Amino acid sequence: MKAHYIIYVFIWMISTSLSAQLISVKAELGSDSIFIGDQVVFTLIAEMDNSVQAELPLLADSITDKIEILIPLASDTISNDGSRIISQSYLITSFEQGTHIIPVQKIAYATETFADSALTMPLLLNVYAPEVDTSLAIKPIKPPINTPITLAEILPWIAISYGGLLAITLIIALIWMYTQRDKDPEVFAALRQDPPHIVAFRELDKLKQEKIWEQGRIKEFYTGLTAAIRTYIERQYGIPAMESTTDEILLTFTKINTEDEILNEMLRDLLNLADLVKFAKEDPTPLENQSNLNNGYLFVQKTFPFFYHEELENENQKNRKEKSGKKSNEQDIEDELTENQNTEGEDKTDE
């Protein structure tokens, strides 16, 4: 083996001396000693002039019959002033004990005038086997290592369990609500809202008590005043007053209210003045502020009876029908009792 190694070194020296000026090649090992089955990096490196074109050999499954290539690793190219370095790495291993020679690797190169090849220096790889004391008894295989479950492993499952439980509960609740809505609709009926005029009067009373216009909060006062009137118009007449401009509200309201022109004028003056205060910095007098608040009360008072009385009349008619039905039932019962008493009296007289 030593003789072969000396021959390889001699060939490498001759090849290197001939091509030293154009190209320099070498092979490297990450470590020259490993245990059986361990892995080590084997690298081919070529440094050459820019005028030289070289190609590293492609190693497939093995380097020798005792040294195997597991996988090819990264290849790289580094350029310097007038030269460049190319490299290719492999992950190798060996399963036979002993000293193994990695033979010279042939790297072909060419210039404009000739072509040749350069050889790397051979390397030695020592492969050792672990020392085994044969005098000791053979020990059994170690049992599996007990690894306790950590909180980080449990938390995702807890979150999934709670999420699934909440989803199932929500589905059951929705199914129950859907089935119970048909059986007992009164339980799921929406709470009855106060009539529009009651809500409007409540908001106007709040503005009247606070008297914020006396504190210089004129814009805030007219914002609240118009919001109360617009909300009332929207609920009372079905006009989308909260999303409409003043002109759109007046145009729609005048089409509905064709009998009382004073109401149209009152609403027009109130909304127009409020727009001037909010957008044109108009500063009404205290008397105008009080007058507009009173006009708000008056507008609601004059408009809600048209709707309220109709609803009240329908409710009264319903109550009268119920009362008349009860009275008729009571009268029938009284007539039946009177008839029974008369029959009993006649029977006694006959006796």
DSSP letters along 196-219, please? Answer: HHHHHHHHHHHHHHH-GGGGT-HH
For the chain, the maximum distance between any two Cα atoms, rounded to a whole number of angstroms, is 161
Structure-block tokens of residue 109: 């190169």
Q: What share of the chain is helix, strand, coil (3-state, %, to 5)?
A: 55, 20, 25
* Tally: H helices and E strands in the chain: 7, 10
pLDDT of 168 above 70:
yes
pLDDT of 341 above 80:
no
Q: What is the mean pLDDT of the segment spanning 24-36? A: 93
Report pLDDT digits (tens) over 240-262: 888 888 888 888 888 887 878 88
E strands of 111-232, at which residues? 115-119, 123-128
Residue 64 contacts residue 103 (beta carbons within 8 Å): yes
Report pLDDT digits (tens) over 107-123: 989 988 888 888 899 99
pLDDT of 191 above 60:
no
Confidence category of residue 79, pLDDT binned at 50, 70, 90: confident
pLDDT of 2 above 60:
no
Contacts of 230 (CB under 8 A, 6+ apart): 241, 242, 249
pLDDT of 67 above 50:
yes
Report pLDDT digits (tens) over 321-339: 665 655 555 555 556 555 5
Q: What is the mean pLDDT of the segment spanning 140-155? A: 85
Q: What is the mean pLDDT of the segment spanning 294-319? A: 67
The rounded mean pLDDT for the chain is 80
Of 168, 54, 42, 45, the closest CA to residue 111 belongs to 54
Q: What is the DSSP string of 7-60?
A: HHHHHHHHHHHHHTTTEEEEEEES-SEEETT-EEEEEEEEEEETT-EEE-----
Structure-block tokens of residue 284: 């009404």
Which amino acid appears at position 105 of this protein?
A: Q
CA dist 239 and 198 (Å) reads 18
Of 72, 107, 108, 92, the closest CA to residue 29 belongs to 92
Report pLDDT digits (tens) over 270-287: 888 888 888 888 888 888
CA dist 45 and 27 (Å) reads 6
